[in-house]
Amino acid sequence: MFLLDRLATRRTAWSASIAWMAVIFGLSSLPGSAVPSTGGTYAHFGVYAILGALLYLAFRHETPDTGRALALAVITASAYGVTDELHQAFVPGRVPDVVDWAVDTLGALAGAWLMLVATRRR
């Protein structure tokens, strides 16, 4: 029974991470005219903080080493941020931006780290 519970939790963590990546893709597909001009940096940070937290939970099921799970979550989210910025090159009114990618990566680090701290206290 414990194994089934663990698999369900693992599957849920990965499903949530992939679903959130799909949300990010959808948001990045909006043309520039549909994107509010204010709060862009905060939005990038927040969206990727959520992704970093979800990926940390997913990777925690793959390794008992919290540092490794943190690193894998940030690296994966950062790599996804690169693909997100490249995707925007094909969306009318959007342009790839290395600063956005850096903010994405910092947001992922913050989210993953906060999730690490939260899960340690449980």
Question: pLDDT tens per residue, the chain (122 residues)?
Answer: 455 556 569 899 999 999 999 999 998 888 876 777 666 789 899 999 999 999 999 999 999 999 999 999 999 999 999 999 999 999 988 889 999 999 999 999 999 999 999 988 76
Domain range annotation of the chain? 2-26+40-121
d(CA 39, CA 21): 20
Residue 92, classified by CB atoms within 10 Å of its CB into exposed (0-12), middle (13-18) or buried (19+), is: exposed
| pLDDT attached to residue 5 | 59
| pLDDT attached to residue 102 | 96
